[in-house]
Structure 1
Amino acid sequence: MSHRFTALPAVRSFVLFSSAGAALASVGVSPVRADVVGRVKFHVLSAATQKPVPGAKITLEDSANVNPNLVLTTDANGEVTTPPLENRVWVATTDADSFQVDARRVTVQADVTSEVTIRLGAIAQGSGTVIVTRPLVRTGQTSSSTVRDQSFYQKFPLAAGNPQSLTKALRSNPGFVEDSVNQAHPRGEHASTSVYINGFLLPGALQGRAGQFLSPETIQTFDVQTGAYAPEYGGETAAILNLSLRSGTIDPFIDARLGGGGFGTFTGSLTFGGQAGAAAGGADVHGDIAKKFGYLVNLSQYNTDNALEAPQPGNQSAHNAQQSTTAFGNFSYAAGPSDQFNLVINTAPARTEVANRTGLPDEYAPFGQGFGYAGALSAEEAQTRGIASQEALRQDIYQRDNNTFTAFQYRKQFSPSLTGLFSLGYSNSKLDILNDNPEAFRNATVSSATLAEDSSLEFSPTIKREYDQTEFSASLTAVRSRHTFKFGGLYSDQSGDESYQLIPGSQAALNALFATDPRLAPQGGTLDEDGNYLLGTATATPTLQVKREGYYAAGYVQDTYRVTRRFTLNYGLRLDAYKQSQNLGQDSVNQTRLSPRINTAYVIAPLTVARLSYNRLFTQPPLAQGAILGLSVQPQMTDLYEANVEKQFGGNQTVKVAYYQKEDRNQLDTGILIEGTQIGAYTSISLGKATIKGFEFSYDLNPRNSIGWGGYLAWANSTAKPRGLNNLGEVIDDAYNDHDQLNTITGGVSYGLPSGAEAGLSYYYGSGTASSVLDETSGRQGRQEVNLRVGTGEQQRKKQAVGFTLEVQNLFDSRKRVNF
């Protein structure tokens, strides 16, 4: 779908001041009490004889500071399996008579019993504690994913200038293409991404929103999956964001941050959390006692005069302000060792101005410099015809959106090998596009006699859209020997109301409105031989009312089978059902599909794993305003094939290469409802078939204890080619999807000092999307962005830890075009 010119934002810098209560460990180890759990089976052997070591004591320390230490003892075979543990890093210390102490960091994988072998050296062979490097490659993991945590986002300034931006945070993952309206396109798809919080599929939020629906500050761990999905994951399957949320720590804390910078930018946040109530267990070796009630609250505010990429490289703050707020609460209660309750509440209102065109440089004169309808006139043509820019006409269109959700969860451990999770959630999504245009353009009664032939002020829109979703889900996880079985399902009731009124500002706009959908245009006109829709008498611009009702439901069964110590197999079936009806006379959508999935992982060498997978995927149409055109939009069906190899070397470095191919049917796409306009009204359509294929390379350097050099690099080479007929009955003549980008490179480097001071750079390069092409004779416009962060770290000052950070967004002030 076409956008007019948008450019990268101009350079913007700001200083961030932060202070934290003395009881807080670094924010990088912020807590999480996730409802997604796994187990670890320890094998303790003598390094000299390879015989089991019975009676060895293993102490597990929670890196998130939520749970007291857990002490286990190996049996006669030198083995012991943990109870369900939250899926994060735990520190395991193993102590046995006549052996050295072994200390290592162990990563718990969700829904899997990971196996860890510990070989203890005799005291005679040395003294003290042996520190073992944590394996960074999860050899039992069958999915294609990248895991990031809070410490990663503190090192690298991916979201410089806007700490609320979840989209910017995703840019470190291979295969994510960024566009000009805060969307990230994973692996050639539009943006159909499912978000799971603590194991619960979050009801869909509206596409096209300008504000954020969840602040990255509330997230402890980002598990970004782009393929080889277990059957439990579905809904929207371009990517899966499996998020673990921060939660209250044993030691209470307060964290306050303030920032300000260029373009009127202000950021502020307050986070506090802790535990209260009766003790949930005894004291650990440090004297820490976990409480039954945990709480974490985060409030954040973001203001700027340069919200989105502007329609010209020069004046980037012309009617481009945003005010965005997020409020988040995560509350947990441990009723007993086998019963845990959790409540998450979040709301994220935002008001964003739609940036005005002020005019493009002379080099764009042959293509349109942003004057007249759709910006198609040059400055000379506009001056001759007396047509002013949107900014000069005082166009004032703004978007008001909010996404509010709540999720209540109950986790029950029925036995050491059987766990249940039951969730109930509600989501309310609103997105309004309104205007305070000059009164002369807001008269809903129009006629061709009174309309100007052309005008840069295209429409005075009043678009309102609201969706309510209620979702229930349940799952059971059972461990039997080498098998981890999981059964589950969900039902999401969906209902929405939309209304559309677009008052045309010129005859050219009236023609475009009628061509898009006659129901949006004033009635009673006639078409002349030149295609002009002429209104002989003054006629009111109608308001199109749309009501939608339906549901999405799914059920799945899967088994993660540790066939051997080297080979892991995940397989199963997923049944998806989607139904939607609306009042526009289109046929209802009612589809049910059964999809097989098989994912494998094989350890081909120490700390080297090869994965091979096949997934059939069902993607429900997104909640996207303006899905009113043509035939009803059908769910997308995809066959996804992938192979990848991942290796760890040097103790703290990993490399991964991957190849994938996707065959889409009814490929979902979202773009501008009325092409060429800036108002942000979107429509969802189906693009028939598509073939997407790509190669990915990623490298990570993990600094030990956050000291020294760190870095990451990700490169994706991919193509996305649609074909066939879309749901409007049109032949698809575009060779590539508009967000197709051949090469996407993202990387970063950081350096940390023992004092906590750090410096970091992040880099994003795109070779150019298909939408950046000017005409058939021009190539794509590449783009790049470099961000800088320098910080003191949190320095102790009496009872407070205080730090300062300088960030610069778009360090070299690149203003290449993103769309045209």
Structure 2
Amino acid sequence: MVHMLVRSAPLALLPWLAAAQGAAQTPEPAPAIELDPIVVQSSRLEQARTGIAPALGASVTRIDRETIERLPQGGGASLNQVLLQAPGVVQEAQGDLHVRGDHRNLQYRINGVIIPEAISGFGQLFDARGMRSVELITGALPAQFGYRTAGIVDITLRSGAQDPGGTASLYGGSFGQFQPSLAYGAAVGPLEYYVTGSYLRSDRGFENPTSSPNAIHNSTEQVRGLVNMAYLLDDRTRVAFIGGSNQSRFEIPNIPGQPAQFTAFGQSSYDSASLRARQWQRSSFGVLAVQHSRDALDMQLSAFVRKTSISYVPDTVGEVVLSGVAAETRKRNYSAGLQGDASWRIAEAHTLRAGFFASADITRNIANSTVLPVNAAGQAFDAPFTIQERGRIEGQLYGIYAQDEWRLTDQLTLNFGARFDVMNQQVNASQLSPRANLVWRPSEATTISAGYARYFTPPPSELLTNPALSRYVGTTLAPEVLQASPARPERAHYFNLGIRHRIGEHLTLGGEAFYRSVRDMQDLGQFGSAYIFSPYNYREGRVFGTELSAQWRRGGFLAYGNLTLSRSEGRGLVSNQYFWSAAELAQVQSKFVRTDHDQLITGSAGIAYRPWDGGNVSSTLVYGSGMRRGFANSQVVTPYVTVNLGLSQEFEIAGGGKWTARLDVLNLFDRSYQLRDGTGIGVGAPQYGMRRGVFAGLSRAL
């Protein structure tokens, strides 16, 4: 567990410390340094909000602002690139992540508020410039964390009161990347705000399906924006608004030399390098929150809305000739809800916490599939026609929780409670989920924790469909298995044991062991040309592993390393069986198979050093033993390792302000490696990691 912490005196004590230092240096009274009251109040309310939902007993990896800025790409790094430096995180195509043997299943919180996940995942919405810190919380989670349970990505945004000023920057380089950005924050009376915006143009939108450095037809344009505003009604109450948006356009990269499989539209050949498929991804959200802190009581009430969509437009003629199918796909999801959380310190040894969550979703699906008719002998005819499908799926989630943080002794704390959740979707279900974590600190240097959690994980409503399989019989899109049982909620027992030990003042070591026994284990797969995942369930599953971590921090030197060994496997298919071939379905019914995202060994490491005034040199490493491939995921992709290098220099220009110049080399040794090879369960196409890229940037402090 990488604990990248910034230790500092409490903000409220700074005036007293400054005055005391001044008195020590001169016998005459020195004026006290006064902080703007809004800064002190904002800091105090931030601490109170953090205390509403602590992760006591779980494994927490915190990456602070200083660490983000010092690693390669700095504030321009995407959220998923930052999280890859945490233990147990496996990189996936399209910016997705796997944590502790789970596929996606991550809950994103922004300043403590749950944000529903977008159809295309959440990582693309954020880059690091708007974050003060990010925490990845895994293990046996306390009762306030529900639904998405592989990990909690808890983002704390920068604020105008505590992070005044900003930057204007320009970053770019290999693959035609061009990325200007702007960030600025300030406090005006009781109002504070922080705004970020960026534009990205690149010739590397999705992962290259070939091993060449540059893909054919793979450009992207992306616009991102984020605003964090807060207004202090008084010294105990704050109203906040958070809004964000990402509008992205992608070309779908091509694989040259693919042979034509069918005759359609009078054509029996087609150059696969000239395909012109496109995909648009849009996501926007808004949060309105009221926070109140009085004596021993802290509470926050939040309302949120989220709109997300994906539109895939095929190259109809080319895709039908090459594969027999061209499916225009449009998917839209609307989500709105309420969340309330409260913390009450009723006694010195007891802190009670309770809350609720309620949300409603509407998912609309449109599919226009151009196919060819097929006779009983399996012969296709040049008579293309389009099958149109329209679907609407509504869903609701309701949940309540309560728990007690009981300090049994100065060294021993028990955090126990439960949550009750109800799901109304294609399947209606509910569950009472007890949770318990015991934390023992036998010394100031050592912390030992043991935890148990019962999990209830609804299928992602934004990805659900209800296909009419019978309409595709006798066409080139006919599935082998004519069964589409609805996706079910996952139910799991989770056990976690961890130890963290500090050696001296600078070195911290950690170890974790985890085991998850699952019924109706969820997984996701890409089953078409569109870059959209679809859920399905194994009847039973099991996931287990260990994590080791180390961190050294001293002055301007930082070094860390993580190593995770894990195994994820499932048996029996109980939903959306039509995604699979009949042979794969039979294989999985009789024995456990590895899930497609299972990776036995995952490692990450990093180092940052300030060799001279204003300079910083850093490097990060990511290792993977390879995810699964082949029939029923029986084989493994080749292992890979990538190294990134970063160099930055701060300097001042007389009358021109403070500047930072940055040079980054990603995949320093130009390793060609595969994340996927196009085979295995739920794998749509080969996907290669990025080849060596050289990027440079210049930013000015505002």
The alignment's TM-score, normalised by the length of structure 2, stands at 0.82
Tell me which of 265, 271, 280 is aligned to 1:400. Answer: 280
Aligned with 2:402 (options 540, 544, 557): 557
Q: Distance in 2 between matches of 1:566 and 1:797?
A: 54
State how 1:201-216 maps to structure 2 within 5 Å. Answer: 201-207=114-120, 212-216=124-128
Aligned residue number for residue 683 of structure 2: none
Q: Which residue matches 2:681?
A: none
2:306 to 398, 422, 427: 427
1:749 aligned to 2:607? yes
Does the 8 Å CA contact 1:487/1:556 hold for their aligned counterparts?
yes
* CA deviation after TM superposition for structure 1 residue 110, in Å: 2.5
Larger radius of gyration, structure 1 or 2? 1
Structure 1 residue aligned with 2:414: 569
Q: Distance in 2 between matches of 1:251 and 1:696?
A: 34
Q: Is 1:600–2:466 an aligned residue pair?
A: no
Aligned partners of 1:426 and 1:66: how far apart in 2? 32
Residue identity in the other structure for 1:620: P
Matched-pair contact (CA < 8 Å) for 2:643–2:668: yes
The equivalent position to 1:461 in structure 2, one of 324, 327, 337, is 327
Cα 1:251–1:184 shift into 2, 3 Å? closer
Deviation for aligned residue 1:227? 1.3
Structure 2 distance, partners of 1:649, 1:738, is 39
Summarize deviations over 1:301-359 as a string: whole Å, max 9, x none.
Answer: 12110122211101532111111111111110001012110000111111111111125
Residue 77 of structure 1 corresponds to which residue in structure 2?
none
User: Are the aligned partners of 1:247 and 1:294 in contact in 2 as well (CA < 8 Å)?
Assistant: yes
Partner of 2:689: none
Structure-2 residue corresponding to 1:791 = 648
What is the SS of the residue equivalent to 1:456? helix
State the match for 1:358 in structure 2.
256
Give the Cα separation in 1 of the matches to 2:200 and 2:287: 25
**Aligned ranges for residues 635-784 of structure 1 at < 5 Å?**
635-674=489-528, 678-704=529-555, 707=556, 709-728=557-576, 730-731=585-586, 732=588, 735-753=593-611, 755-771=613-629, 780-784=637-641
| Change in 2 beyond 3 A, CA 1:496/1:777 | closer
Letter in 1 for 2:295: P
Counterparts in 2 of 1:151 and 1:599: CA distance versus 1, 3 Å:
same
For residues 632 and 227 of structure 2, the distance between their equivalents in structure 1, rounded to whole angstroms, comes to 49
**Amino acid aligned to 1:788:** L
On the 8 A contact 2:39/2:161 being kept in 1, the answer is no
Task: Find the counterpart in structure 2 of residue 487 from structure 1.
Answer: 354
Report the alpha carbon displacement of residue 84 of structure 1 after superposing the two structures with TM.
Answer: 5.6
1:606 maps to amino acid: E
**How far apart are the structure 2 equivalents of 1:776 and 1:431?**
28
Give the conservation status (yes or no) of the 8 Å contact 1:66–1:249.
Answer: no
Contact 1:142 1:568 in 2 (8 A): no
**Unaligned stretches of 5+ residues in structure 2:** 14-31, 468-483, 578-584, 678-702
Higher relative contact order (CA 8 A, sep 6+): 1
Paired position in structure 2 for 1:520: none
Deviation for aligned residue 1:540: 2.9
Displacement of 1:715: 0.5
- Within-5 A mapping of 1:159-308: 163=76, 165-207=78-120, 212-249=124-161, 252-277=164-189, 292-308=190-206
**Counterpart for residue 316 of structure 1:** 214
Q: 1:651 to 1:471 in 2, by over 3 A?
A: same
Alignment partners' CA distance in 2, 1:60 and 1:598: 45
- Look up the equivalent residue of 2:139 and give its one-letter code: G
The alignment partner of 1:151 has SS state of: helix
Secondary structure at 2:90's aligned position in 1? strand
Native 8 Å contact 1:315 1:358 kept in 2: no
d(CA) in 2 for partners of 1:66, 1:535: 76
Contact map agreement 2:338 2:357 (CA 8 A) in 1? yes
Displacement of 1:66 = 8.6
Q: 1:718 to 1:372 in 2, by over 3 A?
A: farther
Render the CA deviation track for 1:497-545: whole Å, top value 9, x for unaligned.
Answer: 11012324xxxxx5xxxxxxxxxxxxxx56424x45x468x46311211
Shift in Å, 1:728: 4.0
**1:217 to partner: Cα distance:** 1.7
Note if contact 1:557-1:573 (Cα within 8 Å) is conserved in structure 2: yes
Task: Tell me how far apart the structure 2 counterparts of residues 778 and 594 of structure 1 sit (CA, whole Å).
Answer: 38
Question: Which letter maps to 1:487?
Answer: A
* 2:67 paired residue number: 152
Could you tell me which of 291, 297, 302 is aligned with 1:418?
297
Residue 373 and residue 748 in structure 1: after superposition, are their counterparts in 2 closer, same or farther (change >3 A)?
A: farther
Match of 1:86 in 2: 46
Q: Aligned equivalents of 1:371 and 1:779: distance in 2?
A: 26
Give a deviation string over 1:762-793, Cα, whole Å, max 9, x none: 1001011113x599996531111111110103
CA 212–777 in structure 1, closer or farther in 2 if over 3 Å, else same = closer
User: For 1:775 and 1:229, how far apart are their aligned partners in 2?
Assistant: 32
1:478 aligned partner: 344
Structure 1 equivalent of residue 684 of structure 2:
none
> Which residue matches 1:16?
none
Shift of 1:550: 1.4
Alignment correspondent of 2:580:
none
Give 3-state SS (helix, strand or coil) of 2:455's partner: strand
Q: Per the alignment, in what secondary structure is the counterpart of residue 798 of structure 1?
A: coil
- Which AA in structure 2 matches 1:110? G
Which residue in the other structure is 2:673 paired with? Answer: 816
In the alignment of these two chains, the number of paired residues is: 622
**Partners of 2:495 and 2:461 in 1: CA distance:** 27
| Residue of structure 2 in register with 1:122 after alignment | none
Report the CA distance between 1:739 and its aligned residue.
0.7
2:620 is equivalent to residue 620 of structure 1? no
* Inter-partner Cα distance in structure 1 for 2:43 and 2:208: 53
Deviation at 1:373, TM superposition (A): 5.9
CA displacement at 1:726 relative to structure 2: 3.1
CA 494–812 in structure 1, closer or farther in 2 if over 3 Å, else same:
same
Given that 2:272 and 2:318 are in contact with CA atoms closer than 8 Å, whether structure 1 keeps it comes out as no
Structure 1 alignment gaps of length 5 or more: 1-27, 32-36, 41-58, 71-81, 89-107, 114-139, 278-291, 360-369, 375-384, 443-450, 505-509, 511-524, 581-587
Q: Partner letter of residue 534 of structure 2?
A: T
Q: Give, in angstroms, the shift of residue 563 of structure 1.
A: 1.5
Distance 1:737 1:83 in 2: 44
Cα 1:568/1:756, change in 2 over 3 Å: farther
TM-score (normalised: structure 1): 0.71
